[in-house]
Amino acid sequence: LISVYDYVRCFQVIGRDITERKQAEKELIRLSTAIRTTSDSVVICDPEFKIVDCNDAALQIYGTKNKNDLVGKNCFDFLAPEEVELALKDKDELMKKGFLRGREYRAFKKNCEIFPVEVSISLMKDKNNELTGFVTVTRDISERKKLEESVRLSEEKYRTLVENIDIGIFRNTGIDGKIIEVNRGWLKIFGYSSKKEVLGKNVIEVYCDPEDRKELNKKMVNKGFVKNMEVNLRKKDGTPFIGSITAVTIKDDKGNIKYYDCVIEDITERKNTENALWRKNKLILKKNRELHKAMKELKSAQNMLIQSEKMASIGTLAAGVAHEINNPLSYVSSNIKYIKKYVEKMENFIKELPEVFSKFPFYSEFSSEFQKIKNSYKIDFILEDLTSAINESIEGAERVKKIVQDLKSFSHPVVESMSYANINEGIETTLNIVWNELKYKAEVKKELGDLPEVYCNIQKLNQVFMNILVNAAQAIENHGIIKIKTYVKGENVFIEISDTGCGIPEKNLHKIFDAFYSTKEIGKGTGLGLSIAQKIIKEHSGIINVKSKVGKGTTFTIRIPVNGGKVK
């Protein structure tokens, strides 16, 4: 206030509390930020539902970048025609309640693409409670609808599977036993035509003996499940049958049993079949003699298989054996031809002696002439050479005899009985048979110890030795060493056969004793050799082991008890 003399007399100050306004401004800023950043469409409408403003998310949802495509338009213009009537009904509810939550419609985008939306609307009023407009929040629920449809189809698929399966599936309220769901398979098993006849009933009604239901409950409480529990049940018409129940408990978050999910099968026919089989057991027992006979025949067939494998091995060695026989036979035959010629000359000499005697009356003259004749026929040389030739023939014949004897002994049908035999002699016999297979591939080194006689089937053991030795020779590519060592330790005899061949990969070691397993070319082996060898050793209560390293060689170790007992 200024006086008449132009000086300030006092100040007049008017104050106003704007705290509430400032708070409202802050809230408005926060609300504006939230509306601007939310991924949901936010649209402000006037009382006639004309769009006044919208956020960026609204532009994106409706497929435009220009706000003018929305502002000034009526909200109903963006709904599919068939949705307008529903929206108008919802408008009446909105005006009464003041809001709507989660209403689903189908809306248009700018390019006329129809898509599903979820809409929530609230009224806006002034301080006089007069309507000033609406706030509409819209969410594109296309992905959610696709997921819901996928879930629906999946549920429908598995529901169809459960409904149409022949096995009975049902759910009841646990210990109480109230039936709350069954499938068609369950209805078929129990003879019901519809679920209405069953739902709400107590499952104990289908039990012939209520104690079975109590036993099931006890197991479900203690273990949480039962598996293939056999119980006597009855159908709708009272027909009894045997059921197999598998069930599991379903619990709530607190661990309380909510219900049992159960699977049931009618196993009456199967049980009847089992009983019929049990009744036939006596008949099977009567056939025991036939089975015993079949076992003998099987044993015979097994021996034939061993013999067949042996013959297959001998066939492989046939060329070598023939070569071994032909060598001694060649010089035997040649020497015999010489002997024949020598004998003819001796005969001629003897025939000429009388004529010589008649011409010469004196012995000295005769002797001189006789000496000339002897010299002319080389009698002295013939007699000397004849002795040598005969000796060679005898030696060759003995060699042939030995080979033939060993071959005959080796290929003789297997005798099942056991007796005490010399293992070293068996090895020597086997070496003699397979020598032609070995001599071109390897040097054979022997360290045969002083062994006691072993209670065994030496023919079968010779088969084992032959299989291992032939395999050893075939494993050597050029020229190597095969070593045979025997020794006794405690009450067991050990035979080690090692080679410097290609070796066996570690991954194949566990398969070499399997029947029909072979790494040889087709036609060069049956794959039974080592399988039969292992079986023969087991028949002697023995053990055969193998160690091998690729590129270094393989060693087979056989352990056999001296007296045929178990290996210690």
Using one digit for the tens of pLDDT, what is the confidence trace for 176-208? 899 998 888 889 999 999 988 989 999 999 999
32 domain-assigned: no
Q: What's the total number of domains in the chain?
A: 3
Using alpha carbons, list the distances in angstroms from residue 223 to 174, 245, 531. 14, 15, 48
Final residue of a structural domain among 146, 175, 192: 146
Shared domain check, 129 and 216 = no
Shared domain check, 239 and 177 = yes
User: What pLDDT is recorded for position 524?
Assistant: 56
Q: Is the pLDDT of residue 561 over 60?
A: yes
What token pair was written down for 451? 């062994």
Shared domain check, 550 and 430 = yes
Q: Are 467 and 513 in contact (CB under 8 A)?
A: no
Shared domain check, 77 and 180 = no
Q: Is the pLDDT of residue 272 over 80?
A: yes
- What average pLDDT score do residues 432-441 get? 83
Shared domain check, 533 and 439 = yes
For 25-38, give the DSSP string: HHHHHHHHHHHHH-
Shared domain check, 142 and 48 = yes
- pLDDT, greater one: 507 or 378: 507
- What average pLDDT score do residues 296-313 get? 60
What token pair was written down for 121? 């609307």
382 domain-assigned: no
Q: Which residues contact 5 (CB under 8 A, 6 or more apart)?
A: none
For all residues of the chain together, what is the average pLDDT? 80
Q: Are 355 and 369 in contact (CB under 8 A)?
A: no
Using alpha carbons, list the distances in angstroms from residue 372 to 155, 342, 363, 378, 380. 126, 18, 14, 10, 12
554 domain-assigned: yes
Window from 8-17, 389-398, 451-460 with minimum mean pLDDT = 389-398
Rounded percentage of the chain residues whose pLDDT exceeds 90: 23
Q: What is the CATH number of the domain that holds 264?
A: 3.30.450.20
Q: Is the pLDDT of residue 49 over 80?
A: yes
User: What pLDDT is recorded for position 567?
Assistant: 47
Using alpha carbons, list the distances in angstroms from residue 431 to 413, 437, 445, 463. 19, 9, 11, 11
343 domain-assigned: no
Number of Cα atoms under 13 Å in the Cβ half of residue 177: 13
Burial class (CB in 10 A: 0-12, 13-18, 19+), 156: exposed
Confidence of residue 130 (pLDDT cuts 50, 70, 90): confident
3-class secondary structure, 197: helix
45 domain-assigned: yes
- What average pLDDT score do residues 293-314 get? 62
User: What pLDDT is recorded for position 360?
Assistant: 60
What's the rounded Cα separation, in Å, for the pair 186 and 197? 12
Final residue of a structural domain among 233, 258, 276: 276
Confidence of residue 35 (pLDDT cuts 50, 70, 90): low
> Among 479, 446, 482, 450, which residue's Cα sits nearest to residue 554?
482
Q: Is the pLDDT of residue 274 over 90?
A: no
Shared domain check, 224 and 262 = yes
Shared domain check, 428 and 557 = yes
Question: Dihedral of CA 82/88/89/94: which sign?
Answer: positive
Using alpha carbons, list the distances in angstroms from residue 29 to 44, 137, 157, 336, 355. 16, 18, 51, 132, 162
Q: Which residues of 158-167 are buried (b: 16+ CB within 10 A; e: fewer)?
A: eeeeeeeeeb
Shared domain check, 554 and 424 = yes
Shared domain check, 521 and 454 = yes
User: What pLDDT is recorded for position 492?
Assistant: 93
What's the one-letter identity of residue 160?
Answer: T
Q: Which residues contact 209 (CB under 8 A, 6 or more apart)?
A: 231, 232
Final residue of a structural domain among 84, 114, 146: 146
Q: Are 382 and 346 in contact (CB under 8 A)?
A: yes
Query: How crowded is residue 95: how many other Cβ atoms within 10 Å of its Cβ?
Result: 10
Shared domain check, 239 and 206 = yes
Q: What is the CATH number of the domain that holds 503?
A: 3.30.565.10
Give residue-wise pLDDT tens across range 209-232.
Answer: 999 999 999 999 999 899 999 999
Confidence of residue 566 (pLDDT cuts 50, 70, 90): very low
Q: Which of 9-13, 32-36, 172-176 has the largest mean confidence? A: 172-176
What's the rounded Cα separation, in Å, for the pair 64 and 54? 12
Window from 142-146, 166-170, 281-285 with minimum mean pLDDT = 281-285
Q: Is the pLDDT of residue 295 over 80?
A: no
Give residue-wise pLDDT tens across range 142-160.
Answer: 888 888 888 777 777 666 6
Q: Is the pLDDT of residue 565 over 60?
A: no
Shared domain check, 207 and 113 = no
The predicted model scores a pTM of 0.37
Which structural domain range is residue 263 located in?
A: 167-276
- pLDDT, greater one: 529 or 112: 112
φ, ψ at 482 (rounded to 5°): -115, 125
